[in-house]
Amino acid sequence: MKTKIFLAFIMVAALLSCNSEKKDNQEGEEHEEHGVEGAVVLNASQREALDLKLGTFQMRNLTTVVKSNGQLEVPPSSSAEVTAIIGGNVKAISVFHGDKVSKGQQLAILEHPDYISLQEDFAEISSRLEFIEKEYARQKELFENNVGAGRDYQQTKSEYNTIKAKYEGLKSRLQLLNLSPDKVKEGEISNTISIKSPINGFINDVNIKVGTYVDAKDILIGITDNSAIHADFMIYEKDVHLIKEGQKIHFTVSNRHEEELTATIFAIGKEFETNSRAVHIHAKINEKTTGLISGMYISGHIHTDENYTRTLPNDAIVTEGTKSFIFVIDTESMDEHDHDEHDNGNESHEELANHDNDDDEGHEEVENHDNDNDEGHNHDDHTNELNDEKHEMTFRMVEVITGLKDEGYTEIKLIDPLPENTQIVMNVAYYLISDMGKEETEHDH
């Protein structure tokens, strides 16, 4: 019994000794990792909390910029104000503000006795025309054969032309009211008319209510086709000579500052606004973007030359004294770190295996200890899974020279070249340099 207790004590002491050495090695590795000069390590959780974004250099034009404001507009052909051809009472409204409608779709229904009178007049003139057409054909034939009198022929011809003109006029009025002349000829009389959409678009105004009387000049419904929307900018007199058709404008919409759009100038106004001494320029939006509405305020800038340079967002750059820095992913340090972890893991497993073999040669109790070691292996596997979940990244500080600035971007000149497509921190450079300074302070302590 004493022998077993003594052997168990020896085994516990050996394990404590191994754990102590492993802890010392880990602390040494962590100390060495945080001691990497000019670099900071972040795991996946830290990067997510910072909303860290990666990207590459962007080529932008920062020279000879003309700034301008304006609003989104649609051409006259893409906007409609619907009226009634003939006044009437509103019987039904088929659309609501914001609805999408197609050309020819019913918007509302009007009713009035005048619509009935118009159809009755057309039905009557249609019958008279049918009779006079036959009479005119008969008189013409007699006149050409020198049988009938010329006076009768001329009188019939004049009456025929008068009735036919009235017939065509009434027919056109029915068609404007979306009534079928053919149905009216057959005796189908309607006391209502349909108000239909003249274009495709969205309802932006409804000025009627059921039961109210509307006149021919009243605007019932407004429709706008936003698919033809374009950017309308104001350029002041001092900059007009710099503007040409075909130039590109970079702009943002008032409620979408984070998204930059582009447009190409297709028309330039030929007269100044009286008060502002500015001219309108019209530009076609290049991107297919939804959610743009006529009247939205826009702010843009026009590059009048083609001098493009390497740039980064201002948040990607941090300044210390007279020097400027950016942070890039240090792939070499990350590869070395992963390699060292792999080697350390293999060494730990080899030591543990040797320790197990020594115990097997001495005593039976080691079988139970082997089971404990198997559990230890499972614990190591779990630790490796946790490490994989961290996805640590090393970011290295790189000194750069800054140049021109415009619209939240800064020109970047490299002191030492970087590999093509190097991944750069785009938005939290200030935090990284602060975190790096804090680690250096802790290291010194």
Compute the average pLDDT of residues 216-230: 90
The pLDDT value recorded for residue 272 is 84
The pLDDT value recorded for residue 390 is 58
Instruction: Name the 3-class secondary structure at 382.
Output: helix
Which position has the token pair 């190409």? 264
Highest mean pLDDT among 6-20, 21-35, 80-94, 151-165 belongs to 80-94
Reply yes or no on whether the pLDDT at 333 is more than 80: no
DSSP secondary structure, 160-221, as one string: HHHHHHHHHHHHHHHHHTT--HHHHHTT---SEEEEE-SSSEEEEEE---TT-EE-TTSEEE
The pLDDT value recorded for residue 137 is 84
> How confident is the prediction for the chain on average, in pLDDT?
78
Burial of 3 (0-12, 13-18, 19+ CB in 10 A): exposed
Cα(278)–Cα(235) distance, rounded to whole angstroms? 5
Reply yes or no on whether the pLDDT at 32 is more than 90: no
Q: Which CATH architecture has domain 65-76+226-306?
A: Beta Barrel (2.40)
Compute the average pLDDT of residues 405-432: 87
337 confidence band (pLDDT: 50, 70, 90): low
Q: What tokens were used for 249?
A: 């404008």
Q: What is the pTM of this model?
A: 0.52
Burial of 42 (0-12, 13-18, 19+ CB in 10 A): buried
The pLDDT value recorded for residue 433 is 82
Q: Are 230 and 80 in contact (CB under 8 A)?
A: no
Burial of 412 (0-12, 13-18, 19+ CB in 10 A): buried
Reply yes or no on whether the pLDDT at 170 is more than 90: yes
- Spacing of C-alpha 248 from chain mean position: 19
Q: Are 317 and 326 in contact (CB under 8 A)?
A: yes
Of the candidates 261, 280, 217, 257, the one whose C-alpha atom is nearest the C-alpha of residue 75 is 280
Compute the average pLDDT of residues 35-55: 82
- In this predicted model, what pLDDT tens digit does every residue of 116-168 receive, in sequence order? 999 999 999 998 988 888 888 888 777 777 766 677 778 888 888 999 999 99
Compute the average pLDDT of residues 1-26: 42
Compute the average pLDDT of residues 250-277: 85
Reply yes or no on whether the pLDDT at 219 is more than 90: yes
Q: What tokens were used for 52?
A: 């860290």
